[in-house]
Amino acid sequence: MGQGNTVGNIAGTAGETGASTYAPLLPVPAARRAFGTSDAFALWFSLGIGLLVAQAGALLVSGCRCRIHSRPP
């Protein structure tokens, strides 16, 4: 039957792939990666701060509502 669909058959071997070759099954070399450790840290830190701000806002709004709704009609 011949060769099946393997990484070697689809994209060649790791040494044969050039800068313009599209090889979705091969990992990107560390030198060509655009998203590094500092980028991941900044992304997760920003997400954490955003979640803390949302929680603080929810606490503040619930505190304000109690005072507004506690007035006699």
Q: What is the pLDDT of residues 8-67, one digit of tens each?
A: 555 455 555 455 678 889 988 888 889 999 999 999 999 999 999 999 988 888 767 655
pLDDT value at residue 44: 97
Q: Which pLDDT belongs to residue 41?
A: 97
pTM of whole model > 0.85? no
Q: What is the token pair recorded at 21?
A: 């070759």
d(CA 55, CA 73) in angstroms, rounded, equals 30
Distance CA 5, CA 65 (A): 62
3 has pLDDT over 60 = no
**pLDDT of 47:** 97
DSSP SS3 for 4: coil
- Cα–Cα distance measured from residue 16 to residue 23, given in angstroms and rounded to the nearest whole number: 11
